[in-house]
Amino acid sequence: MNFTPIDNNSLVEGFCIIKNVEKKTSSKGDSYLDMTLGDADGEINAKLWRYSPEIHGEYDANQIVKVRGTVSQYNGSDQLRVERIRPTSPEDNINPEDFVKSAKFSGEDMYNELFSIAENFKDSDLKQIVCEILKDNRLKLLYWPAAFKLHHAVRGGLLLHTLTIVRLAEGVCKIYPFVDRELLISGAILHDIAKLCEFEVAETGIASGYSIEGNLLGHLTMGAMIINKYAENLGISKKTAMLLEHMVLSHHGEPDYGAAVRPSFIEAELLSELDLMDSRVYEMHEAVSSTEADNFSGKLWAMDNRKLYNHNRTDLDKTVNLF
């Protein structure tokens, strides 16, 4: 943890994110907060004794706060005894990316790139519907994650996942010139748009769970509903809207993986395959990056409980090449 020393008695202060927090009762019957605080450099267990909501305020996981307290050793590890705590304010000029795992590119850059691509479509229907949906959802897109726990579950992860698939689609279209490039890229940009409704997400860009709509409908169904709504309002042709809706509904490939229908035309199949490819490469990279050279990772649920081998032949710290 990157705290600033206040004096020579281990008193420190600084900004951090609450990774988890639980209200407990001490052996003396007093309430206290048991927290894990973190920043880009690590994390520390923290205790706020004699906790009073009226005095100290109320706090949730994924909230960035400023704390002051004393660091001491407990069971061989550092522990922070919190003396003061407060929420951050705009005057603090805090950058959430300093406290949570984030995409390596800014939300603004990724959003602008996607919008520029759509703005240059020759198909007026695709250009209009994609640009309007992007414009109306810009603020959320700048920081939204692509998942609650699995692939791209980081600040800005949704745009990172989307732009990566668009780049993959561009390459595919160069090899297969018969593919409808603008239709494929439109489907790629919109395929996960309803994840903006599926998760409960703090301003830090970390999802805390699924929304009611996310649990009851899911992002495939809601995505098709969004496209249908915009198509009607913008006067988009029914066929174009139907093709986009099908791509969203089928992009998980098989009903066993959540798809409402299987892909039924080339661009829909390509979107499904590219979505699967990017999600799996991301999961594999994360697992192998945290595995010692010439060793296997633990079993990965998202990869059918496979263990992955780090052959140590490449630089796993290299950033995805999007720009």
The percent of residues above 70 in pLDDT, for the chain, comes to: 98
Cα(130)–Cα(141) distance, rounded to whole angstroms? 14
Q: What is the mean pLDDT of the chain?
A: 92
What is the tens place of the pLDDT at every residue in 24-56?
Answer: 999 889 999 999 998 877 789 999 999 999 999
The pLDDT-based confidence of 211 (bands split at 50, 70, 90) is very high
**In this structure, what CATH number is given to the domain that contains residue 145?**
1.10.3210
Residue 320 lies in a domain: no
Residue 321 lies in a domain: no
Q: Which residues contact 159 (CB under 8 A, 6 or more apart)?
A: 103, 107, 110, 111, 114, 141, 142, 144
47 and 80 both lie in a single domain: yes
What is the tens place of the pLDDT at every residue in 290-304?
Answer: 899 999 999 988 788
**In this structure, what CATH number is given to the domain that contains residue 83?**
2.40.50.140
Cα(139)–Cα(108) distance, rounded to whole angstroms? 10
Residue 317 lies in a domain: no
25 and 123 both lie in a single domain: no
For residue 201, pLDDT over 80 is answered with: yes
pLDDT at position 302, please?
79
pLDDT at position 8, please?
64
pLDDT at position 1, please?
64
154 and 295 both lie in a single domain: yes
Residue 318 lies in a domain: no
Residue 311 lies in a domain: no
DSSP 194-262: THHHHEEE-TTS-EEEE-HHHHHTHHHHHHHHHHHHHHHHHT--HHHHHHHHHHHHHTT-SGGGT-SS-
pLDDT at position 9, please?
64
The residue among 33, 95, 34 whose CA lies nearest residue 64 is 95
Give the CA-trace dihedral at 27, 72, 96, 284, to 10 degrees.
-90
Residue 309 lies in a domain: no
Number of structural domains the chain divides into? 2
pLDDT: which is higher, 20 or 134: 134
Which residue segment(s) compose the domain that 170 sits in? 100-303
Which single residue is written with the structure tokens 């008695």?
Answer: 9
If you ran DSSP here, which 8-state letter would residue 106 be given?
-
